[in-house]
């Protein structure tokens, strides 16, 4: 089957499954709504902050506070894109129709990644403008240094979360098992490692902690991270490459 036909087939699969469409919609709504609420709270509490906290106040980053929950929906989206075929048994039919497993996997990921990025870009711009509207006099402008980079970076971060999840789901072949690994990894293990002094330096190199650096415009006073915004995104991208490569290697070696 030609690559264009495979891409068309994967697009049909993704848009015809209601759960994948709903998870992308949920990612957008949660990210925007939570960002707006936190921006409003931050505006009301600004005068009560310490001088150090005021100096570290990052209005752009606050707009993306909802990403912490929005990425949950992106994880589910990435897992479902791959995992649905295994849970329904459709994977055998798909691989019979497209025996070139690399073409099959990367076509699926290309379509899902493009869709995730489109949603993430729109979400990031909406979250930024609405969040800044809530911040009033403390707001940032899109023309300020580093702001546009942070907005695009937020979209890239959300997209990479989805692709990483696709790679893990390809390796594990089970939606429930994949979510059982990814949810604790991002929402428990990463937070523990990043907040305990003994393991903080390890936590800095986990995909979510490194990648989220791209959304920062103001560097916190006590920041000792050994990389910048693009360096952090690069570390996250390396994790994604490893996950996708692992998924591809296992898909080639084993039966459906």
Write a three-state SS string for the chain.
Answer: CCHHHHHHHHHHHHHHCHHHHHHHHHHHHHHHHHHHHHHHHHHHHHHHCCHHHHHCCCHHHHHCCCHHHHHHHHHHHHHHHHHHHHHHCHHHHHHHHCCCHHHHHHHHHHHHHHHHHHHHHHHHHHHHHHHHHHHHHHCCCCCCCCHHHHHHHHHHHHHHHHHHHHHHHHHHCCHHHHHHHHHHHHHHHHHHHHHCCCCHHHHCCCHHHHHHHHHCCCCCCCCCCCCCHHHHHHHHHHHHHHHHHHHHHHHHHCCC
Selected residue with higher pLDDT from 11 and 171: 171
Q: Which of 105, 103, 109, 151 is nearest to 130 (CA)?
A: 151
Q: Which tens digits make up the pLDDT trace of 165-196?
A: 999 999 998 999 999 999 999 988 898 888 88
Selected residue with higher pLDDT from 141 and 48: 141
Q: Which of 128, 130, 131, 156 is nearest to 212 (CA)?
A: 156
Number of domains the chain contains: 1
Q: Which stretch of 43-52, 167-176, 209-218 has the lowest confidence by average pLDDT?
A: 43-52
Cα angle: 142, vertex 148, 149; to 5 degrees: 155
List all residues 6 or more positions away from 211 whose beta carbon is below 8 Å from its beta carbon.
157, 160, 161, 232, 233, 235, 236
- Residue 255 is predicted with a pLDDT of 62
Q: Give CA–CA dist 192/17, Å, rounded.
A: 35
- Residue 256 is predicted with a pLDDT of 55
Name the pLDDT band for 228 (thresholds 50, 70, 90): very high
Q: Which tens digits make up the pLDDT trace of 64-87?
A: 999 989 999 999 999 999 988 888
Q: Which tens digits make up the pLDDT trace of 103-153?
A: 889 999 999 999 999 999 999 999 999 999 999 888 999 999 999 999 999
Provide the domain limits for residue 59: 3-253
Mean pLDDT of the chain: 90
- Residue 83 is predicted with a pLDDT of 86
Summarize the confidence of residues 15-38 as an average pLDDT: 91
């Amino acid at each position: 089957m030609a690559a264009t036909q495979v891409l068309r087939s994967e697009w049909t699969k993704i848009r015809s499954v209601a759960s994948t469409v709903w998870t992308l919609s949920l990612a957008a709504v949660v990210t925007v709504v939570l960002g707006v609420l936190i921006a409003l709270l931050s505006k009301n509490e600004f005068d009560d902050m310490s001088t150090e906290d005021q100096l570290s106040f990052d209005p752009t980053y606050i707009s993306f506070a909802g990403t912490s929950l929005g990425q949950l929906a992106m994880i589910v989206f990435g897992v479902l894109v791959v995992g649905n075929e295994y849970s329904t048994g459709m994977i055998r039919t798909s691989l019979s129709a497209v025996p070139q497993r690399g073409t099959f996997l990367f076509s699926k990921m290309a379509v899902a990644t493009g869709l995730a990025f489109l949603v993430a870009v729109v979400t990031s711009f909406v979250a930024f403008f609405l969040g800044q509207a809530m911040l009033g006099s403390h707001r940032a402008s899109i023309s300020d240094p580093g702001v546009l980079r942070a907005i695009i970076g937020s979209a890239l971060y959300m997209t990479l979360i989805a692709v990483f999840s696709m790679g893990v789901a390809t390796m594990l072949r089970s939606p429930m098992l994949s979510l059982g690994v990814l949810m604790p990894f991002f929402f428990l293990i990463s937070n523990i490692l990043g907040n305990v002094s003994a393991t903080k330096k390890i936590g800095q190199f986990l995909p979510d902690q490194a990648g989220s650096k791209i959304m920062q415009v103001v560097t916190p006073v006590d920041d000792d991270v050994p990389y910048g915004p693009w360096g952090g995104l690069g570390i996250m991208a390396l994790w994604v490459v490893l996950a996708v490569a692992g998924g591809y290697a296992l898909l080639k070696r084993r039966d459906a």
